[in-house]
Structure 1
Amino acid sequence: MAKTYGPLIWLQLGSTPVVIVSSVDAAREIMKTHDIIFSNRPFTSVSDRIFYGSKDVVFSPYGEHWRKIKRKTYGFQHMVHWIAKATTHFSVGNYFPSFTWMDRLSGLLREADEIFKESDDLFEGVIEEHVNKKDFGIKGHDLVDILLEIQKDKSTGFELERYMIKAIILVTFI
């Protein structure tokens, strides 16, 4: 079709205009000059119903809400994907302890240390944000707030350490 009609084809699918770009150069030019116009996903009634009125990071329209939600969620999504990938790797040292050096050599243990450091920093930031949210006028109550309240409550006879809160957040999102 591109040979007959050129690199840009405009279609009208019902009431929705659709542009088909079949050239790398044309796509690059469009994304350079009109990226915000084409950055939204098309609205669908099904995704709107399933994803809370398209308020999630995938289906919400580009704008301030999308930027805010992406900053919260991208770190979590990236972390969950990274953890899932790393935990599915075969660890020789788990089955043959005398061969743990192979896990070091392959980089598996280094990657686990990097994941821990990055996730710890991410969750530390989340906790600090919740601890200081009154200072910034943020309202709302979520899992992290509840865990912080349990941590402050000494009457339970159970001391909830900060690292435990991070572990609970991690497991909840995975």
Structure 2
Amino acid sequence: MAKTYGPLIWLQLGSTPVVIVSSADAAREIMKTHDIIFSNRPFTSVLDRIFYGSKDVVFSPYGEHWRMMKSICVLHLLSSKQGGFGKDIWVSAHGTPDCKGHNTFFVGNYFPSFTWMDRLSGLLREADEIFKESDDLFEGVIEEHVNKKDFGIKGHDLVDILLEIQKDKSTGFELERYMIKAIILVTFI
């Protein structure tokens, strides 16, 4: 399509405008002059349900909350040796890792007046069930770390770091429990 229409293509997907950039030079220019506009992710009802009201570092709108979450992830988590954490959580909950996944088209994200179709098809209920299952799993993981001595857990991992940050009031940012779960979820995925 880029050969026919050029490096920038504008599409209207329902009520959502989409710009497709197929050239590195065009992408560089856009990010240089309009980076804040393009740094936000589009709002979707399903991601908002699953990712704690879009309060994680991936789907949170650009702003102070996003900057603080990014800072926590970059300074405390990505600089640490936390590899394998997501796999450990999955194995403790389900046995062996399973990478099954599928993409689902949610009509309401592109045609808001047709959100009822997502409800009727059961997709929103399924998203709520996925959220509940993962929230329960992460709540259990956090509780195990809060009560490490009772569970015989040794070592220092991502959850321990997040709980330490939560206790540290010097940052001026209150890391709430659901935010800890959101970071764990993003790290897990």
Q: TM-score, normalised by structure 1?
A: 0.50
Q: Summarize the Cα distance change of 1:100–1:43 in structure 2 as closer, same or farther, 3 Å threshold.
A: closer
> How far 1:156 moved relative to its partner?
1.1
Which stretch shows the higher mean deviation, 17-26 or 126-135? 17-26
Partner of 1:149: 164
Partner of 1:164: 179
Q: Summarize the Cα distance change of 1:25–1:130 in structure 2 as closer, same or farther, 3 Å threshold.
A: same
User: For the pair shown, which has the larger CA radius of gyration, 1 or 2?
Assistant: 1
Q: Summarize the Cα distance change of 1:99–1:19 in structure 2 as closer, same or farther, 3 Å threshold.
A: closer
Q: Summarize the Cα distance change of 1:117–1:24 in structure 2 as closer, same or farther, 3 Å threshold.
A: same
Of structures 1 and 2, the one with the larger relative CO (CA 8 A, separation 6+) is 2
**C-alpha deviations, 1:36-82, integer Å up to 9, x for none?**
99999999999999999999999999999999999x99999xxxxx9
Please give the alpha-carbon distance, in whole angstroms, between the structure 2 residues aligned to 1:104 and 1:15.
Answer: 19
> How far 1:128 moved relative to its partner?
0.1
> How far 1:136 moved relative to its partner?
3.3
**C-alpha deviations, 1:133-174, integer Å up to 9, x for none?**
123332100000000000000111111000000000000010
> How far 1:129 moved relative to its partner?
0.3
**Secondary structure of 1:54 counterpart:** coil
**Secondary structure of 1:36 counterpart:** helix
Equivalent residue in structure 1 for 2:84, among 75, 81, 95: 75
Please give the alpha-carbon distance, in whole angstroms, between the structure 2 residues aligned to 1:67 and 1:156.
Answer: 13
> How far 1:88 moved relative to its partner?
1.9
Q: Summarize the Cα distance change of 1:10–1:136 in structure 2 as closer, same or farther, 3 Å threshold.
A: farther
Which stretch shows the higher mean deviation, 96-105 or 31-40? 31-40
Which stretch shows the higher mean deviation, 6-15 or 108-117? 6-15
Gaps of at least 5 residues in structure 1 are 77-81
For the 8 Å contact 1:57–1:73, the answer to whether it is kept is: no
For the 8 Å contact 1:75–1:122, the answer to whether it is kept is: no
Q: Summarize the Cα distance change of 1:105–1:18 in structure 2 as closer, same or farther, 3 Å threshold.
A: closer
**Secondary structure of 2:148 counterpart:** coil
Please give the alpha-carbon distance, in whole angstroms, between the structure 2 residues aligned to 1:12 and 1:97.
Answer: 14
CA RMSD of aligned residues (A): 16.1
4+ residue runs of structure 1 moved beyond 4 angstroms?
1-70, 72-76, 82-87
Please give the alpha-carbon distance, in whole angstroms, between the structure 2 residues aligned to 1:94 and 1:12.
Answer: 13
Please give the alpha-carbon distance, in whole angstroms, between the structure 2 residues aligned to 1:48 and 1:97.
Answer: 15
For the 8 Å contact 2:9–2:19, the answer to whether it is kept is: yes
Identity across aligned pairs (percent)? 92
Q: TM-score, normalised by structure 2?
A: 0.47
Please give the alpha-carbon distance, in whole angstroms, between the structure 2 residues aligned to 1:158 and 1:132.
Answer: 24
Count, aligned residues: 168
